[in-house]
Structure 1
Amino acid sequence: MILINLLPHREAARKRKREAFFASLGVAAVAGGLIAGGAYIWFQAQISSQQSKNQLLQTEITKLEGQIKEISTLQQEIAALRARQQAVEDLQADRNLPVHLLNELVRQLPDGVYITTLKQENQVVTLTGSAQSNERVSELLRNLATGSPWLTKPDLVEIVAGNVTLAPRETRRVSNFTMRVRLLRASEVAKAAAAAASAASSASTAAAAPASAAVASAKKV
């Protein structure tokens, strides 16, 4: 007996394929949604973690800025204390400046030069006096410029000719002068002495180097 299938099997096959295709699409959509959701959650977690780290860093930065301000304030206070200490030391050292000034003037005044008035303002000393000649004034300027560790930068303000009465009938021509000179502080004198010693040491070392080279060459010969 022959059986003939009169049902639309091709339509049924197409229907099954469509159903399978739509099922696959549904599964793919669900899988894509799950993956996208997982990725979104992961990224959100990473963003939240980074924001927490950023917040922590910002908090630490704020603390560091506060500490830096405190350090800056401390440095300013230290600088102010050092300045006060230096001022006190300068004041203590300056108590002996009049002694050094008078001592140096006695040492540096050439014969024939007389100081009539002496005035000091801070570290500038104004000298007024008389000299037997202009050459004596020039000699005093040279002595003050190069011969004293306490006096520096002499400046001749003026020099005028004048007369001095030695007896009722005896007069002598003199040179009346006014000059300024700077009186150094004890700290400045110490620095200048240290610089001079360093320069002398460097010069002696430089002079000894060629001599050593000459000795070495002589030994080789």
Structure 2
Amino acid sequence: MIRINLLPYREKKKQAGLQKQVFLFGGSFLALLLILGGIHLFMITSIRSYEGDIKEKEEVLARLNKIAGEVEIFKKDKNVLEKKLSVISRLEENRLAPVRYLNDLNSSVPIGDAWIDRIILKESDLRLEGVARNNMVLSRFMRNLEGRSFLSAVDLVSSTQKEYSGMKFHQFVLNCKIKKQGI
């Protein structure tokens, strides 16, 4: 006798295969969501960690910038002080120079034959105004001045004959250049 199975076994097989596929797809989707969630969580913690590092580095940078500013102020103050000290040392070195120059100038004047009425000093220019008995005395005075170590040039600006108390004298004006090592 022939047996015929009327139960829908093929449909059950299809339905079982379909359930298996849905379960597999759902599990894969769930695994994908878990993986994406894990990656997302890892990224969030990494970002927070990097943000914390950035804040910490910015604080260190702000502190170092403040220190760098203080160092710059210190350098400027140091330069100002060094300039002041150099001026003081130059003044200290040259404080006796005018006295020496006047002494040398005094010893250059021919005694009894000439005298200086006025001395004007402007930077490295020295102007001497005075009176000499005659041109020979004035010439000797100029040669004496040229022999001085602190002067580099002696020029006669003017020489005019004037009468004082019935005697004739030569009124003169000399310009002299003081060497750089001077005052």
Say yes or no: TM over 0.5: yes
Taking the aligned partners of 2:12 and 2:106, their CA distance within structure 1 comes to 135
Aligned twin of 1:191: none
Aligned twin of 2:158: 160
> Quick one: structure 1 residues 44 and 104, their matched pair in 2 at CA, closer, same or farther if it must change by over 3 Å?
farther
State the 1:116 CA deviation.
3.5
1:180-219 counterparts in 2 under 5 A? 181-182=177-178, 184=180
Contact 1:101 1:183 in 2 (8 A): no
Taking the aligned partners of 1:113 and 1:17, their CA distance within structure 2 comes to 137
Taking the aligned partners of 1:13 and 1:113, their CA distance within structure 2 comes to 144
Q: CA-to-partner distance for each residue in 1:108-162, whole Å, 9 max, x for gaps?
A: 889x9974421235665433346839xx6xx77x949xx73x456x696x82341
> Quick one: structure 1 residues 40 and 168, their matched pair in 2 at CA, closer, same or farther if it must change by over 3 Å?
same
AA of the residue aligned to 1:72? E
Taking the aligned partners of 2:10 and 2:154, their CA distance within structure 1 comes to 125
The structure having more radius of gyration, on CA atoms, is 2
Taking the aligned partners of 2:12 and 2:43, their CA distance within structure 1 comes to 46
State the 1:10 CA deviation.
3.1
Alignment of 1:88 with 2:106, yes or no, is no
Aligned twin of 2:16: 16
State the 1:184 CA deviation.
4.5
Aligned twin of 1:201: none
Taking the aligned partners of 1:5 and 1:55, their CA distance within structure 2 comes to 76
Contact 2:120 2:128 in 1 (8 A): yes
State the 1:72 CA deviation.
1.9
Taking the aligned partners of 2:6 and 2:154, their CA distance within structure 1 comes to 136
Aligned twin of 2:61: 61
Taking the aligned partners of 1:48 and 1:85, their CA distance within structure 2 comes to 55
Taking the aligned partners of 1:160 and 1:69, their CA distance within structure 2 comes to 60
Aligned twin of 1:126: 127
State the 1:168 CA deviation.
4.2
Taking the aligned partners of 1:77 and 1:41, their CA distance within structure 2 comes to 54
Root-mean-square deviation (CA), in Å?
A: 4.0
TM superposition score normalised by structure 1 = 0.59
Contact 1:161 1:176 in 2 (8 A): yes
Counterpart secondary structure, 1:2: coil
Contact 1:90 1:185 in 2 (8 A): no
Taking the aligned partners of 2:77 and 2:164, their CA distance within structure 1 comes to 63
Alignment of 1:179 with 2:180, yes or no, is no
Contact 1:162 1:176 in 2 (8 A): yes
TM superposition score normalised by structure 2 = 0.69
Taking the aligned partners of 2:107 and 2:36, their CA distance within structure 1 comes to 99
1:87-126 counterparts in 2 under 5 A? 87-103=87-103, 105=105, 115-120=116-121, 125-126=126-127
Q: Which has the higher helix share?
A: 1
1:138-153 counterparts in 2 under 5 A? 143=146, 148=149, 150-151=150-151
Q: CA-to-partner distance for each residue in 1:24-60, whole Å, 9 max, x for gaps?
A: 1111111111110110111111111111111111111
Taking the aligned partners of 1:155 and 1:12, their CA distance within structure 2 comes to 132
Contact 1:124 1:183 in 2 (8 A): no
Q: CA-to-partner distance for each residue in 1:65-84, whole Å, 9 max, x for gaps?
A: 12112212222332333233
Taking the aligned partners of 1:77 and 1:115, their CA distance within structure 2 comes to 46
> Quick one: structure 1 residues 59 and 6, their matched pair in 2 at CA, closer, same or farther if it must change by over 3 Å?
same
Unaligned runs of 5+ in 1: 189-221
Contact 1:159 1:175 in 2 (8 A): no
